[in-house]
Copies of this chain bind each other. A is one copy, B any other.
Amino acid sequence: MATQKITLAKGLNMGLRKAMEDDPKVLLMGEDVGKLGGVFRITDGLQKDFGEDRVIDSPLAESGIVGTAVGMAMRGYRPVVEIQFDGFVYPAYDQIVCQVAKIHFRSQGRVKMPMVIRIPFGGGIGAVEHHSESPEAQFAHTPGLKVVACSNPVDGYWMMQQAIACDDPVIFLEPKRQYHADKAELDESATPEPLFTSRIVRAGTDLTLLAYGPTVKTAMKAAEAAATEGRSIEVIDLRTLSPLDMAPVLDSVRRTGRAVVTHEAHVNLGLGAELSARITEECFYSLEAPVLRVGGFDTPYPPSRIEEDFLPDLDRVLDAVDRSWEF
């Protein structure tokens, strides 16, 4: 099969389409996912091709969307729901953490909950309040949920299908800033890596830089910039946030002796905290410096005119790399 150059938005769209073709039980639901194809057009064309019964525009109520999806899953469907923006997932929070996450456990495995909750997340798009947040830590703290974040078009295509095929509920985070940013070559005949694995996206020897979703690009740029100064940075795209795939991370840190984590979520109790705790516990004698964290500050997401100051960027990542060195 020929390869093609696609954006992340296209990769996700193709992944959804493929999953719907492969399994008639896959349903999409959300606000504006039908005729409009979603405000980001990720479901573009799918209602036209699969009908209103499979691509369902819902009333404007997130708890209702997730709660009815629970019932559909109980009836044997595999619902994929779209939350329009990160900041609007909270009305559904109760259904997600008390029902979606727990029904398999509650029923001692008798009731499966194969649901994907898609959330465009992260900032940098110049939006108003609630449109730029990073809620992943709260979901990763909740047993019963799996949480993944894609960072590029090819992963978007494969991870979406894998998440839909997974028999557990998956919170699927899509870096909205990247939707239409860069294109990549997709080979549909390739064999993807498993869903819940992290990936070294740039090999290095001096420091391990951990990122996911939107910060992977920043991390790659930081590694390039550091290389010009003779520092060899290994970049890992975590891809899975719960479970964490610690093996490649620990292996890397044992080699490099230093780690920096970067994400857009608030630093306080963000994924960086957990990674720091685990890395320190497992690599105590290998560490030359404490694990440093570069994230969103511990303030509400600010007005968009200063959002780039809130978000971790190349310079702040490099600054942390420097600080790690100086320890």
Contacts and interface: CB of A to CB of B under 8 A. Distances in A.
Contact of A277 (B90, B141, B273): B273
A97 B101 contact: no
A266 B97 CA distance: 13
A10 to B, nearest CB: 31
A300 B284 CA distance: 30
Interface stretch (A11-19, A222-230, A248-256, A288-296): A288-296
B87 A90 contact: no
Contact of A129 (B106, B272, B281, B289): B106
Given A144-B300, A242-B268, A268-B140, A281 B292 contact: yes
A93 B98 CA distance: 12
A138 B143 CA distance: 13
Interface of A: 63, 87, 90-91, 93-94, 97-98, 101-102, 105-106, 129-130, 137-138, 140-144, 242, 265-266, 268-274, 276-277, 280-281, 284, 289-293, 298-300, 327
Copies in the complex: 2
A194 B298 CA distance: 22
B141 A266 contact: yes
A271 B129 CA distance: 27
B270 A300 contact: no
B289 A284 contact: yes
A138 B93 CA distance: 11
A64 to B, nearest CB: 13
A123 to B, nearest CB: 14
Contact of A280 (B106, B130, B271, B280): B280
B90 A91 contact: no
Contact of A270 (B93, B98, B141, B270): B141
A130 B98 contact: yes
B268 A298 contact: no
Contacts of A91: 63, 94
A250 to B, nearest CB: 13
A63 B92 CA distance: 12
